[in-house]
Amino acid sequence: MIAYWDTSALLALVFKEIHTPVALQANATATSNYAWRWLEIEARAGLLRRRATESEWAELQIHLHSMTWLDLPVKDHPALLALNQRHRLRAADAGHLHCFQRAAHVLPDLTLVAFDAELTAAARAEKLRVFSP
């Protein structure tokens, strides 16, 4: 599987939580990993807020190094805003959805790994692949 990671799924790899088993399954089946570059900022903030241990920071680094990073250029903002008119997502989730959708045009097997209900519903509404074991 070619995986596109949302922050909710990445953090489930670092911390033991309800979604960790599914995140681990997605990680085990992923042959390559993609993410919007903003994911690193969100993930680091998540670790700071949860007062992560040294080993959790090390685990995050492993996953961040596995990513192929996607950018969100200013010229894409009108398309992102139009996309979000349909879905009314939080700003960062709209950015993730836009980057995922844009990458899926080039990589049709790209699969979203996320545990955010609104984001996954929007991806499905856009006829995009969502990881579901």
Q: What is the pLDDT of residue 133?
A: 77
pLDDT in tens, 23-54: 999 999 999 999 999 999 999 999 999 999 99
Q: Give strand pairing partners of 111.
A: 3, 129
Q: What is the pLDDT of residue 55?
A: 98
Q: Could you tell me the domains of the chain?
A: 2-130 (3.40.50.1010)
pLDDT at 122 exceeding the cut of 90: yes
Give the pair of three-digit tokens for residue 27: 């990680």
Give the pair of three-digit tokens for residue 92: 């960062």
Which regions of 45-109 does DSSP assign to beta strands (E)? 67-70
